[in-house]
């Protein structure tokens, strides 16, 4: 390799380094901006999905507490009959599982609709572990 091409490659390398640095900077801003301006839509989309699933379940199971008849959706929960409750981590997975149980016709064996009060009373009476508990509310 002659002096000429060494110089050439060095220059080209510098150029690429400079170029990719610039590329990175501009695109980092671009991705940040993309997320910033679409954050609302991204969040809304997953919230809508969650609402839709929850509504399907309530439509199927009846929109009232099976113990006391309370029917304000905002304070209704889907309760695991066996007391396992919900896990917060796999929230979406849990909803999918419940929807699956409707398909399998096993929903009534596994789940029931309770209002927050009755759910709380059931937990205390049955000594259920609150760590595993999560409810579906209207928000």
Binding site for Zn ion (CB under 5 A): 65, 67-68, 70, 115, 118
Between residues 22 and 72, which has the closer beta carbon with respect to Zn ion? 72
> Quick check: 72 and 84 in contact, CB under 8 A?
no
Between residues 77 and 86, which has the closer beta carbon with respect to Zn ion? 77
Give the single-character DSSP code of 88. S
Between residues 79 and 94, which has the closer beta carbon with respect to Zn ion? 79
Q: Token match 């590329």: residue?
A: 23
Distance CA(77)–CA(57), nearest Å, equals 11
Between residues 43 and 81, which has the closer beta carbon with respect to Zn ion? 81
Distance CA(53)–CA(46), nearest Å, equals 11
CB of residue 24 to Zn ion, shortest distance in Å? 57
> Quick check: 61 and 78 in contact, CB under 8 A?
yes
CB of residue 114 to Zn ion, shortest distance in Å? 6
CB of residue 76 to Zn ion, shortest distance in Å? 8
Q: Token match 């490659």: residue?
A: 9
Between residues 42 and 68, which has the closer beta carbon with respect to Zn ion? 68
CB of residue 120 to Zn ion, shortest distance in Å? 10
- φ and ψ at 124, to 5 degrees? -65, -45
Distance CA(112)–CA(77), nearest Å, equals 8
CB of residue 82 to Zn ion, shortest distance in Å? 19
């Amino acid at each position: 390799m002659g002096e000429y091409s060494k110089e050439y490659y060095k220059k080209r390398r510098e150029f690429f380094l400079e170029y990719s640095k610039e590329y990175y900077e501009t695109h980092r801003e671009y991705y940040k901006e993309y997320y910033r301006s679409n954050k609302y839509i991204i969040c809304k989309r997953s919230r809508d999905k969650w609402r839709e699933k929850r509504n399907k379940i309530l439509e199927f199971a009846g929109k009232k507490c099976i113990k006391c008849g309370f029917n304000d959706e905002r304070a209704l929960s889907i309760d695991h009959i066996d007391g396992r409750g919900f896990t917060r981590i796999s929230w979406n997975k849990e909803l999918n599982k419940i929807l699956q149980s409707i398909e399998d016709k096993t929903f009534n064996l596994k789940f029931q609709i309770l209002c927050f009060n009755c759910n709380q009373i059931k937990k205390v009476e049955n000594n259920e572990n609150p760590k595993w508990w999560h409810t579906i509310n209207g928000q």
